Amino acid sequence: MFDLVRDSTFGQIVNWASKGRLLPYADQRSDYVVPARYLSRQEPSPFPRTVSQAPTLESGAVTLVDASGVCAEQKQLGSDAGDVEKQAQLDSGAIEPPSARYPWLVDFEENDPDRPLNWSSRKRLFVASLISLLTFSVYVGSAIYTSSIPGIMSEFGIGQVGATAGLTLFVAGYGIAPMVLSPMQEIPRWGRLPVYMIGLALFVVFQIPQVLAKNVATILVFRFLSGTVGSPALATGGASMGDIFAPKQLAIAIGAWSMGAVCGPIAGPVIGGFAAQGMNWRWPLLELLWISGFAFVVLFFAFPETLESTILIRRAERLRKLTGNTLLKAPAEVDAGEDDKLGHVLKETISRAFRLAVEPSLAVCHCYIALVYAIFYLWFEAFPLTFNEIHHFSLGVGGLPYLTFIVSAAITFTGYCLYQKYHLNPRMERDPNLKPEARLEIALIAAPFIPLSLLIFGWTARESVHWMVPVVGAGLYLPGIFLAFQGIMVYVAMSYPKYAASNLAANDLFRSTIASAFPLFGARYFTVLGIGPGSTLLAGVSILMMPLLWLIIKYGPVLRARSKFAQA
């Protein structure tokens, strides 16, 4: 518990303000013994380069180090920052990174408790639950708004499309913004924590103008801003899971995190429906303020940094201050070079995120999950037509059928865990170099659930059929979308693991921006075509996309091998 508080935003502020006297790290305590290798001090030379013996190299080997302590090889590589080929070779290991031979490298000790992968199981599970809470508190903000739409239409005298734009703008915001915000989380000097916490703080603040809004423009503007600042929780939560769980456990960890992502938009209409019915349209937005505010308080005091490179940079800063050895550096500091500007690094990471988004294997996965989510959001517009209009449920009770997705999610997640334990993990033990495409197999197996669910729901959504039948049909959609999400998210993260956050951000861009437009015409779509024919058309499109997954499973390794970002 001490470590969690110390490493949280609150702990970092206290530690900085007290100069390490309160909530200290081990190297800030009076009884700390500095490792001998950190005491081999060499003053920076006034000359451009000096030659120094590297104690970790074979006898007779030397490393060129300039006045700032950066290896000469890095200077040569870094001289052409725009050279994609060289950077890709460096990232893939074809060229040895400068930190591999740097003599005063600050790295983790054996079984180092500060390394996230070495945390206890209880600590990792607790941090994982905080990541899920963060995701849920933001993601619930999408669908909780739907309960406010009738009230907004009535009070401000606008049509359904104008009121529904609040949902569209929110989803579009958390689809577009990660292309900028998520790569920022890959910058070691920043890390994941500041982006998460500043974004969540702004998310909480941005709910207040919506609750107090006097016109619809205020609502729409702050809905978009809310989705924008809350987007890192949705885009890179999986990357944070990858920070604290080993590859063998990553699939289950991302599956557990996804429960927060799935339950958010599903629980939204249930949470907001009764509030809007019993009070007014402002109350669902007030509930979102309470939920996100609670999450911010908990995470402020207990959510730590999880990015290894950031943790090491902060350790190196403390050790430089303690020992006076200015040559002590974390691997990220050596590899990046101290003369790299933040703007340049940010430009590179954003550019890389866009380049990765058009990699053939990733592009197909992005398009498929975008279609699945677009259908999901469009299909949500059929629920009020089915249960409120056809079966005459009230606004609050009309949100209860959404709970079928949560029940289905619990069953599906249990089956997914069994699949991992008894099928995929044994395969990984037999073949430690199992291709990432194996992760897509579960998505292909689950894909038929989507058209099956649409057809059952669409053709039983009538007054002559008991309301429970379309509810059961709707529940069958969850295995399809949940398992597709799991397979594709893990595949996207593992295909190019060094850039997991950028890949997940690109995936979020595709699925969110495409899905955001569909609710605008959802009600009209089902009104004109009818729920049965409309669902049949969506089922047909989803069937046509299924062969693409099979093609990626078969040809994905070939496509990745040709990529500049491949890591052999």
Please give the Cα distance from 387 to 522 (Å, whole number): 16
Query: b/e string for 242-269 if b means 16 or more Cβ within 10 A?
Result: bbbbeeebbbbbbbbbbbbbbbbbbbbb
Please give the Cα distance from 230 to 228 (Å, whole number): 6
Please give the Cα distance from 392 to 319 (Å, whole number): 68
Instruction: Give residue 14's pLDDT.
Output: 92
The token pair at 308 is: 């290894």
Please give the Cα distance from 383 to 220 (Å, whole number): 23
> Do residues 492 and 502 lie in contact, with contact meaning Cβ atoms separated by under 8 Å?
no
Closest CA relative to residue 539, chosen from 445, 482, 457, 470: 457
Closest CA relative to residue 143, chosen from 384, 377, 478, 477: 377
> Do residues 167 and 296 lie in contact, with contact meaning Cβ atoms separated by under 8 Å?
no
Domain layout of the chain by residue ranges: 2-33, 49-103+310-337, 116-305+349-561
Please give the Cα distance from 515 to 538 (Å, whole number): 13
- Give the single-character DSSP code of 105: B
Tell me the one-letter amino acid at 436. Answer: P
Instruction: Give residue 146's pLDDT.
Output: 84
Type and span of the H or E element at 156:
helix 149-156
Chain centroid, CA 18 distance in Å: 33
Closest CA relative to residue 566, chosen from 487, 489, 497: 497
Instruction: Give residue 567's pLDDT.
Output: 53
Tell me the one-letter amino acid at 310. Answer: T
Give the three-class secondary structure for 317: helix
- Give the single-character DSSP code of 22: S
Task: Give the list of residues 6+ apart from residue 17 with CB closer than 8 angstroms, or none.
Answer: none
Tell me the one-letter amino acid at 456. Answer: I
What does residue 105 show for φ and ψ, rounded to 5 degrees?
-80, 130
**Kind of pairing, strands 62-66 and 49-53?**
antiparallel
What DSSP string runs through 60-102? T-EEEEETTS-BHHHHHHHT-TT-HHHHHHHHHTSS--GGGG-
What DSSP string runs through 166-223? HHHHHHHHHHHTHHHHHHHTT-TTT-SHHHHHHHHHHHHHHHHHHHT-SSHHHHHHHH
| Alpha-carbon distances, residue 251 vs 204, 238, 258, 487, 494 (angstroms) | 31, 10, 10, 8, 10
The token pair at 329 is: 């550096």
Judging by beta carbons within 10 Å of its beta carbon (0-12, 13-18, 19+), is residue 202 exposed, middle or buried? middle
Instruction: Give residue 10's pLDDT.
Output: 92
Dihedral angle sign, alpha carbons of residues 325, 331, 333, 337: positive
Instruction: Give residue 81's pLDDT.
Output: 35
CATH 3.40.50.10800 for the 116-305+349-561 domain, yes or no: no
Full pLDDT tens readout for the chain, 568 residues: 678 888 899 999 998 999 888 988 888 888 888 888 777 644 443 333 333 333 333 333 333 333 333 333 333 333 333 444 445 444 445 556 666 677 888 888 888 888 999 999 899 999 999 998 999 899 888 888 888 888 899 888 888 888 888 888 998 888 888 777 777 777 788 888 999 999 999 999 999 999 999 999 999 999 999 999 988 887 778 788 888 988 778 778 877 887 777 777 778 878 887 788 778 889 999 999 999 999 999 999 999 999 988 999 999 889 888 888 888 888 887 877 544 555 666 676 667 777 777 778 888 888 888 888 888 878 777 888 888 788 888 777 877 787 888 888 888 888 988 988 888 888 888 888 888 888 888 888 888 999 999 999 889 988 888 888 888 888 888 888 888 888 887 788 777 777 776 777 677 777 878 888 888 887 788 888 888 898 899 899 888 888 888 888 888 778 777 776 665 4
The token pair at 330 is: 């974390």
What DSSP string runs through 248-293? HHHHHHHHHHHHHHHHHHHHHHHHHHHHHHHS-THHHHHHHHHHHH
Torsion on CA atoms 310, 315, 316, 317, rounded to nearest 10: 90
Query: b/e string for 294-331 if b means 16 or more Cβ within 10 A?
Result: ebbebbbebbbbbbbbbbbbbbbebbbeebebebbbbb
Closest CA relative to residue 79, chosen from 331, 329, 326, 344: 344
Global confidence as pTM: 0.78
Instruction: Give residue 375's pLDDT.
Output: 85
Instruction: Give residue 224's pLDDT.
Output: 93
CA atoms in the 13 A half-sphere facing the CB of 287: 24
Start-to-end C-alpha separation, the chain: 39
Instruction: Give residue 373's pLDDT.
Output: 83
What does residue 61 show for φ and ψ, rounded to 5 degrees?
-80, 140
